[in-house]
Structure 1
Amino acid sequence: MKPLVVKLGGSTAGSNEMQQWIDLLADASLPLVLVPGGGAFADHIRAMQKPLGYSDEAAHDMAILAMDQFGLVVAERSERFRPSMTIRDMEQAWNAGLVPVWLPSTMTRGAPDILRSWRVTSDSLAAWLAGRIGAESLLLIKQATIDPAEMELDTLVARHLVDDYLPRALDDETKLYLAGPESLGSARDVLAASDVPGRLVVREALEEVLGS
């Protein structure tokens, strides 16, 4: 079974839902890799950019380091979690029955297919990783109510629930799911059935606009 890529949004940091999701994912039997958001660590980088005058490119690199920082926070929350910097690290974790928590700065440093811009958030980086490991599905966990009537990707981009570079970063064969706090009640049973919590995102409308 191909691993599921799960991005735990930095917006969940410090909330009850953060630990609930961590407990559920730590107990999952299907192979998965956990991608941390940047959270408050990335917010601080954004807030200090104007006072310190650094470029968007430098801010992008620092924001990825912020993901590393939140990843280290998450990795301490379960004995099954293992900080992982490379695909080899992930494979070793899966083989040992553990859950890798991706620290992205090593794999993404200097990658020519990653735009160094605030447009690229941990959403797009999770999609990039999904493509690198051939994942069939990507789950984005958000601290926001997900309206089942608004599951088109272009609507999610317009509402700023996902970044606007995600449609380009996401592989055509990767299914995209979105989950919020309302998905927690059924998530354990869904994961136990080796399925993906949350709601499937419809991509066709935006792909037509982009000419994909």
Structure 2
Amino acid sequence: MVKLGGSLAESMRLSSILEIVGRARLPVVVVPGGGAFADAVRQAQADYKFSDADAHQMALLAMHQTGMMLAAMNPRLKAAETLPQLRRVISDGRIPVWLPMKLTKRDSQIPADWTTTSDGLAARLAERLGRSPVLLVKSCRIEPGMPVAALALEGVVDPTFAQIVDRARLSWKVLGTGDEPELMTFLDAGVRSANVRRMIPRDSNRRAAPARAIARRR
């Protein structure tokens, strides 16, 4: 399970990350963040004062928009909504990008508010797929060894993610700027070492996404 944070587009790392993911030799499901689409939901809620439950549904649609964008950017990626669809795409040798609306509609384990972002949804999907490992790819650097509760307190991951990985005993890791080689290893991406430097944007440290985008994007 690889969740691609919405802030990757702002840090100019999205294309290089997708190139790595598209070379994966191991089965993988991509969970999209909401990115700028989720930011628009937050702004609309601030302007028009609708409920968190309504905002949650709109943010799920924001993830759909990002997911469709990701699938359009790499020919090996394909959008999928249900567990059978995810498995079918993988069996065809492709990489499913999960669109979450259908599976989350009646899931009582998912709070319908901003305590759940794409981090928590990725953990919940991993739980439903038999406790798959979860990798969160973000635009911030994480101090090695930080416990998930501390990451939740700092806003790096959402509270739902912390609860699910603890409850389900999921294997998880957060990767940030400069961790592309580790992503390649995790996915068995099969990229020659000479290409590693080419895949890491030269300005990746200078074009870090805004703090609001790092912690709060679905």
Residue by residue over 1:98-156, the C-alpha shift from the partner in whole angstroms, topping out at 9 and shown as x without a partner, is: 000000011111322211111111100000100111133000110111222x5211221
Residue by residue over 1:10-57, the C-alpha shift from the partner in whole angstroms, topping out at 9 and shown as x without a partner, is: 111243311111110110000000000011101110111122121001
How far apart are residue 185 of structure 1 and its match?
3.4
Q: Which residue of 2 aligns with 1:166?
A: 161
Match among 105, 115, 137 for residue 141 of structure 1: 137
Determine helix, strand or coil for the equivalent of 1:28: coil
Cα distance in 2 between the residues matched to 1:50 and 1:181: 31
Cα distance in 2 between the residues matched to 1:118 and 1:16: 26
Is residue 24 of structure 2 the alignment partner of residue 36 of structure 1?
A: no
Match among 98, 112, 118 for residue 114 of structure 2: 118
Determine helix, strand or coil for the equivalent of 2:13: helix
Cα distance in 1 between the residues matched to 2:72 and 2:162: 32
Q: Which residue of 2 aligns with 1:107?
A: 103
* Structure 1: gaps spanning 5 or more residues: 195-212
Assess if the C-alpha contact under 8 Å between 2:20 and 2:189 holds in 1.
Answer: no
- Residues matched between the structures, number: 189
Assess if the C-alpha contact under 8 Å between 1:136 and 1:173 holds in 2.
Answer: no
Is residue 49 of structure 2 the alignment partner of residue 53 of structure 1?
A: yes
Cα distance in 1 between the residues matched to 2:38 and 2:12: 21
Q: Which residue of 1 aligns with 2:70?
A: 74
Q: Which residue of 2 aligns with 1:130?
A: 126
Cα distance in 1 between the residues matched to 2:45 and 2:179: 35
Determine helix, strand or coil for the equivalent of 1:140: strand
Cα distance in 1 between the residues matched to 2:96 and 2:135: 15
Residue by residue over 1:57-83, the C-alpha shift from the partner in whole angstroms, topping out at 9 and shown as x without a partner, is: 100111111000100011111111010
Cα distance in 2 between the residues matched to 1:27 and 1:136: 19
How far apart are residue 190 of structure 1 and its match?
4.4
Match among 72, 79, 82 for residue 83 of structure 1: 79
* Structure 2: gaps spanning 5 or more residues: 191-218
Pair 1:189–1:115, CA change in 2 (3 A): closer
Q: Which residue of 2 aligns with 1:198?
A: none
Assess if the C-alpha contact under 8 Å between 2:24 and 2:189 holds in 1.
Answer: no
Cα distance in 1 between the residues matched to 2:61 and 2:105: 10
Cα distance in 2 between the residues matched to 1:65 and 1:77: 19
Cα distance in 2 between the residues matched to 1:54 and 1:64: 16
Cα distance in 2 between the residues matched to 1:35 and 1:157: 19
Q: Which residue of 2 aligns with 1:157?
A: 152
Determine helix, strand or coil for the equivalent of 2:79: strand
Pair 1:65–1:137, CA change in 2 (3 A): same
User: Which runs of at least 4 in structure 1 moved beyond 3 Å after TM superposition?
Assistant: none
Where relative contact order (Cα < 8 A, 6+ residues apart) is larger, the structure is 2
Assess if the C-alpha contact under 8 Å between 2:42 and 2:55 holds in 1.
Answer: yes
Letter in 2 for 1:104: P
Cα distance in 1 between the residues matched to 2:8 and 2:95: 19
Cα distance in 2 between the residues matched to 1:42 and 1:159: 20
Cα distance in 1 between the residues matched to 2:62 and 2:186: 30
